[in-house]
Structure 1
Amino acid sequence: MKNRWISVVAILLGMYLIAYGFTEGEVNTVFSKAIKICLECIGIG
């Protein structure tokens, strides 16, 4: 029962942090960094 409780708390915390990131506009930051990393890996950026 303890493992289930820990799992539920972890899922709820993750959902909260994702929602907080969306509200703070972090989506654009994450996507721009991901694009830069991908371009560097293939040698374009």
Structure 2
Amino acid sequence: MRKKIEIRKTPFVLLVFFLLLWIVGVTLNEPARVLEQAKSICLSCIGIG
């Protein structure tokens, strides 16, 4: 007798969802915004900005 292998769908759905969110974020230039905010926070922490 062969056992039927059950494939869970939830991990694949979540993977596709997060990939779509990542693509939207990159197209809206979010990485540059995050880096700009991080740079300003770091400069203010050490007293330059």
Normalising by the smaller structure, the TM-score range is: 0.5 to 0.7
Q: Structure 2 CA distance, aligned partners of 1:10 and 1:34?
A: 28
Q: Give the corresponding residue for 1:33.
A: 37
Indicate which of 19, 24, 28 corresponds to 2:23.
19
Q: Structure 1 CA distance, aligned partners of 2:24 and 2:12?
A: 18
Point out where structure 1 has 5 or more consecutive residues left out of the alignment.
none
When normalised by structure 2's length, the TM-score is 0.60
C-alpha displacement of 1:36:
3.8
When normalised by structure 1's length, the TM-score is 0.63
Identity %: 27
Q: Give the corresponding residue for 1:6.
A: 10
| CA offset digits 1:1-45 (Å, max 9, x no partner) | 47x2111010000000000111111111112223344x27xx416
Q: How many residues end up aligned between the 2 structures?
A: 41
